[in-house]
Structure 1
Amino acid sequence: MSREHALAIWNAAVDVVRPAPLVRAALEAERAIHTAPRVLVVGAGKAGPGMAQGLEEALADRLDRVEGLLNVPAGMTAPLKRIRLHAARPQGVNEPTAEGVAGAEDMLRLLQSAGPDDVAVCLISGGGSALLPAPVEGVSLADKLAVTKLLHRCGATIDEMNCVRKHLSRVKGGRLAEAFRGKRLVSLIVSDVVGDPLDVIASGPTAPDPTTFADALQVLRKYELSRSTPSAVLRYLEAGSNGRHPETLKTIPASVENRVIGSNRVALDAAKRKAEELGYRVLDLGSFVEGETRHVATAVAGVVRSIKRGGVPLRAPACVLLGGETTVTLGANAGKGGRNLEFVAAVVAKLGAELEGVTVLSGGTDGEDGPTDAAGAVADAATLAALAEQKITADDFVQRHDAYYLFDRVGGLIRSGLTGTNVMDVRVIVVQ
């Protein structure tokens, strides 16, 4: 029963951030949108189909005024009448493509065509940064992808990578909003970033950017990448630093509004309500969880031990919740997995026999965990029995970053399919 409870709690978290109802509710009071001669729709992200569907439902009596497109992963569909879903990248390949550039350029042209009384709605969700590429003149998509990979390999933070990417883009760092010529632009955002910073989500296409060309160059120097960075990238950033290219937007017009309508915090609140409904005392560790996955797993395993042995910080039956998004530092011969799969495997390895009476679940709310077909995994005492029967240990798979094959062997993969939303990860630990 504990495994079923953990899955029910996780599903409650995902269901509350389904994008269509979030968008419908957000647009109910937007009088300017309901009376505009044209409503231009742009944006990108994994929640794009559901967000577009919610918008069309909210404006069902005036759909003839709606036009636009969203960049989404290939294969994503929705029953839409006026908004086009543009396949900007293959599923499972989180990199910008020429198709994504074509879609972004169509969006720029659409926003630039706005009349003085037209309004725009920008729909942004997780994965939007890779789905919305538009390199600056003189820098190719291959150049931009190359520097992104260099930054990723050397361990640059998301803020550092975005700083560089925004200064090589015609849409990021507020430039999508800058292209709009109409009366009002509302950006509705389903956040996949810890803390919901507007300038980081999808690299902030409608938000002000506090970083500069000089900051971008400093990131490359910090990681000693100046020599390996494509020459076109360096030339552009240096020219920008010397004032020969316009900076990203530092303020946005009063006619532009950014509104976060779905987030990890919203999902955790729903998970807490469901857990309490099922009779659990809840310890909510919040949505700001970051760091190396195995280290977070070790800390959570310690909390579980404390609950089991001393009833601290709360007595069983207990449910520990945590959100955010951790990272996995891969070795040279890494196996197959993702941060959610590795988290569950690492907790199993750390608790050992103390997993008895405990269910551990971790899943990406988008239904994808790394390069796998699983959202994550769930483990309990049945996992211990399967490990013993097959004479294998969870720790071996953790060390190889091969958690997908661990749970493929012992059971526990969560194959939810793409959920149509994305607000980072939700982890549920049930202690009986």
Structure 2
Amino acid sequence: MCKAKNMIIENIDELTSRGNKKGRRIVLELVEETLNQVNYYNIVKEVTKLTNDILKIKDLELDLNGFKNVYVIGGGKNSSSMTRALEEVLDGRIAGGVVVEKEGYTTQTKHLLIVHGGHPIPSSDSVKAAEEVLRVLNKVGKDDLLLVCVSGGWTALTSKPPRGISLEDHIAMHRLLMNSGMTVEQMNIVRNHLSQLGRGKVPMFAKGATTIGLIAVDEVEGKPWGPTVPDSSKFSDAVRVLVDFDLLDKVPESIRKYLETAPPSEESPTPLDYMNNCLKVHNLVIADNIRLCESAQKIASKMGINAFVLSTSLRGEAKHVGAVVASIANEIANFNRPFRRPCLLIFGGETTVTIVGRSGEGGRNQELALSAAQYISEGSRIVIASIATDGTDGPTDIAGAIVDGTLVPRARRLGINVTQEQNEHNSSFVFKQTGDAVYARNTGTNLMDLILVYVE
């Protein structure tokens, strides 16, 4: 199915040279085709049309003659793929804007300025990027149209802490959140209250401009989120999250003090704030994990494979989820239930990894795959791939991993104690040694994770 030229998965030939070669090829070709289907550039071109000065985005129609200027802001991993598509659709009608990307993710725009921020941990570049966004917002007026393209990563890439909180404290807080095992939704309750461009805040800077959020959802709850969506959480909710994860006394003092004493005027804007300020805001979800999983299912069906979407909201500790996924695969392999072989199981969502004590190198997808591999027997015809759709799993340059029943025996022959490496969250080391790490070029998308389970 896949052609070697310009493939997203860089090492597909190596990955299919060992183990269950046929099953691996099927799974990796499905990953490849699915990522192409949900590329942001393709999706924006699909849902956005301009006809005789009428801009249509999904079901929303806007007469561009009614606006003085059009501005575009993008933020998040692969958001430049969205903004490039908008530039082509709007054909020279954009007066200005900026795109904030993670280094290595950039799709070249025609005219829009591209800057880079830190991710997954904010950096001084994140603060500079936020200032560029604020400079654009300072130009926007009530007679203008503001299009805001949002993808996962906005929060870190555009993070600018409130006055009184140093960048060092801000970074330390993010590291604590990342290692805590909390979900991204829980992290964002805290992070959004500690960034000047957090949830719901962009329209408050836009001085009454008509604001359209084009949102790629990368949260398991599947709801619109980001800088154009009003917030229902309060400072007290951020404090509660820190208490629940025993972090309130561990975050820097400036963070704790701000969350506990900041005035109500600095709360994130609520739906009522939008209403009271007569803000004209429309938020449109253009892509999510449901679309990702359904695309995989349709592609598999065209290949003649019985495919079933079991979840688009997978969550939990990665190693535990991996064990459950493998157990379901074993039930099918051994007893033809709940589905008959051959079949493909599709999961989407985002797991977590809780780090306590010693930690190596890895990511949630690699941890899930390594756990699953330990529950697959060598003679089984099961293949499992867990892939970060943005192409980088956690703080690594690896997209994920693919495993079958040969992984653990091969690792043992290399002198690797898989259980020990799992316990030390050192999954990248294992997959680099065994050659089962999946490397990807820029995917042009970011819709959480895709887990495919193929049982022959």
TM-score of the pair, normalised by structure 2 = 0.85
Q: Match of 1:2?
A: 23
Give the superposition deviation at 1:130.
0.3
Q: Does 1:173 align with 2:199?
A: yes
In terms of mean alpha carbon deviation, does 173-182 or 134-143 score higher? Answer: 134-143
Confirm or deny that 1:119 pairs with 2:145: yes
Within the alignment, does 1:66 sit opposite 2:95 as a pair? yes
* Correspondence for 1:246: 266
Secondary structure of 2:206's partner? coil
| Aligned counterpart in structure 2 of residue 130 of structure 1, from 156, 164, 168 | 156
For 1:100, which of 116, 121, 126 is the aligned residue? Answer: 126
Q: Distance in 2 between matches of 1:415 and 1:282?
A: 25
Per the alignment, do residues 99 and 419 of structure 1 end up closer, same or farther by CA in structure 2, a change over 3 Å counting? same
Within the candidate set 363, 373, 390, 1:348 is matched to 373
Task: Tell me the residue number matched to 2:231.
Answer: 209
Q: How does 1:134-173 map to 2 (within 5 A)?
A: 134-173=160-199
SS of match in other structure, 1:350: coil
Instruction: Report the Cα offset of residue 125 of structure 1.
Output: 0.5
Partner of 2:316: 291
Match of 2:436 among 392, 396, 412: 412
Q: What is the distance in 2 between the residues matched to 1:75 and 1:384?
A: 32
2:425 partner amino acid: H
1:331 deviates by 4.2
Q: Hey, what does 1:424 align to over in structure 2?
A: 448
Stretches of structure 1 that go unaligned for 5 or more consecutive residues are none
State the one-letter code of the partner of 1:32. Answer: L
Aligned to 2:357: 332
Q: Cα RMSD over matched residues?
A: 2.3
In the TM superposition, what is the alpha-carbon distance from 1:140 to its structure 2 partner?
A: 2.5
Give SS of 2:266's match: coil
Deviates more, 1:374-383 or 1:124-133: 374-383
Change (3 A) 1:161 1:410: closer
Q: In structure 1, what is the equivalent of residue 7 of structure 2?
A: none
Letter in 1 for 2:62: A
- Tell whether the 8 Å contact from 1:13 to 1:426 is kept in structure 2 after alignment: no
The separation in 1 between residues aligned to 2:38 and 2:291, in whole angstroms, is: 7
Q: Does the 8 Å CA contact 1:317/1:431 hold for their aligned counterparts? A: yes
Q: Out of 388, 394, 403, which is 1:364 matched to?
A: 388
Report the equivalent of 1:271.
Answer: 296
Query: Percent of counterpart pairs with the same letter?
Result: 30
Distance (Å, rounded) in 2 between the aligned partners of 1:210 and 1:124? 19
Greater displacement, 360-369 / 63-72: 63-72
| Structure 2 gap segments, 5+ residues each | 1-21, 50-55
Secondary structure of residue in 1 paired with 2:314: coil
Return the offset for 1:301: 1.4
Give how far 1:418 is off: 2.8
Provide the C-alpha distance between the structure 1 equivalents of 2:242 and 2:323, rounded to a whole number of angstroms. 33
* CA shift for structure 1 position 271: 0.7
Q: Flag the 1:384–1:120 CA change in 2: closer, same or farther, 3 A.
A: same
> In structure 1, what is the equivalent of residue 259 of structure 2?
237
Equivalenced residues, count:
420
How far did 1:121 drift? 0.6
Relative to structure 1, the CA distance from residue 180 to residue 72 in structure 2 (aligned partners, 3 Å threshold; closer, same or farther) is same
Deviation (angstroms), 1:400: 3.1
Shift of 1:323: 1.0
Find the residue that maps to 1:368 and give its secondary structure.
coil
AA partner of residue 397 (structure 2): D
